[in-house]
Structure 1
């Protein structure tokens, strides 16, 4: 079977987590919700509806969720033309592709946001596919997005690797039977990633690339 190299995007390949925090904070503030930024940061990686449930509670009136998500999307879109790629993210994807891995992005982004993220990464030539949360019923931490990515890559869970920056990434990968690898570039502490199932944890894509042969990509390969 093929081997898949699965990658979360925000905070893993593109340095966007704090832009999302600011955009969600402002959208929530405009709607009258006082939510601290550190709480928003820890909720990143969840699909929008789940993120709002996590921050505002399951029992809230969900009638305003659409407007909140739309406000976040509008605010975040102002950054589209200057999203910063994390160091060596493009080189990491191309190196894995050259080594025979099927590289798949696993993200909740879609439409213009996904286009902007792919432009920021600048390695479309290394990609086999992109798996969006819109394509599955449940987003991370459910295993559905990871399993969908494996299907797109025609790859088995055994021998495949998922790289992400959030506890939701680690839980989704573990539940799908894929080896989870953490990166600290999203701002989540090493201990939290390891507690959620991460095996090795690297500083950022450049650190993973530098130690690629000793990583699960080298061991599995």
Structure 2
């Protein structure tokens, strides 16, 4: 896939596990949803699938094609269970500052999330940096969820950006693979619970520990416009 060859104009950000410390809350919510239908899925397996869209996650973890009724029940249960965690949502240290710094550098900041619109509102409230955000996507903006690239394409379209003039910041192997399908280089963060080795193996160009770590390393990162162009 081609690297960024034009001047950097925008940065796409995943939200869950990248800007907000929510991956383990999603893990517990999915675990409880599966238990309600008598599926005993280990939490470790669920966590490794976080980053996929809900429909892909269910099929992946059940190793096949669940019935439409089962998928709907699981998705609905997960949504209800996760919404109970909204008051507990916390942005990672440095998340809001990172978005504001990127915006102040003249770059479009676009949230490329496959969360439901209601969940996305709660996540944005936790970040508290709407003044820096140019646009955002939710699950309703794409036909297929990650690791399909639809969400990222919708994010590009929402801000009038081209893949070759953007960088994606995410936290899961599914994020990296999704971006690669559009030729977008990924900066990956390990704060979502995936190791540096796994993220690099998936194709991440750079790996940092957290939004704060990336913010403090901007000059050496792909977000430095001079080095990313």
TM-score by length of 2: 0.93
Kindly indicate whether the alpha-carbon contact (under 8 Å) linking 1:46 and 1:141 is maintained by their aligned counterparts in 2: yes
Kindly indicate whether the alpha-carbon contact (under 8 Å) linking 2:171 and 2:189 is maintained by their aligned counterparts in 1: yes
Kindly indicate whether the alpha-carbon contact (under 8 Å) linking 1:8 and 1:105 is maintained by their aligned counterparts in 2: yes
Q: Does 1:162 align with 2:168?
A: yes
Shift in Å at residue 4 of structure 1? Answer: 1.4
Kindly indicate whether the alpha-carbon contact (under 8 Å) linking 1:2 and 1:155 is maintained by their aligned counterparts in 2: no
Q: Which moved more, 1:125-134 or 1:89-98?
A: 125-134
Q: Distance in 2 between matches of 1:148 and 1:160?
A: 13
Q: Which runs of 4+ in 1 moved over 2 A?
A: 59-63
Kindly indicate whether the alpha-carbon contact (under 8 Å) linking 2:117 and 2:139 is maintained by their aligned counterparts in 1: no
Q: Which moved more, 1:93-102 or 1:147-156?
A: 147-156
Taking a change above 3 Å as real, the CA distance of residues 26 and 159 of structure 1, as seen in their structure-2 partners, is same
Q: Indicate the residue corresponding to 1:183 in structure 2.
A: 189
Shift in Å at residue 133 of structure 1? Answer: 2.9
Q: Indicate the residue corresponding to 2:3 in structure 1.
A: none
Cα RMSD of the aligned pairs, angstroms, is 1.3
Q: Distance in 2 between matches of 1:71 and 1:131?
A: 22
Residue 48 of structure 1: which of 33, 51, 54 is its match? 54
Q: Distance in 1 between matches of 2:23 and 2:161?
A: 29
Shift in Å at residue 110 of structure 1? Answer: 2.3
Shift in Å at residue 2 of structure 1? Answer: 6.7
Q: Distance in 1 between matches of 2:204 and 2:127?
A: 24
Q: Indicate the residue corresponding to 1:130 in structure 2.
A: 136
Give unmatched runs, 5+ long, in structure 1.
none
Residue 149 of structure 1: which of 149, 155, 158 is its match? 155
Q: Indicate the residue corresponding to 2:10 in structure 1.
A: 4
Q: Which moved more, 1:136-145 or 1:163-172?
A: 136-145
Q: Indicate the residue corresponding to 1:113 in structure 2.
A: 119
Q: Distance in 2 between matches of 1:185 and 1:137?
A: 28
TM-score by length of 1: 0.96
Secondary structure of the structure 1 residue equivalent to 2:27: helix
Q: Distance in 2 between matches of 1:122 and 1:160?
A: 23
1:60-139 matched pairs, under 5 angstroms: 60-139=66-145
Secondary structure of the structure 2 residue equivalent to 1:12: coil
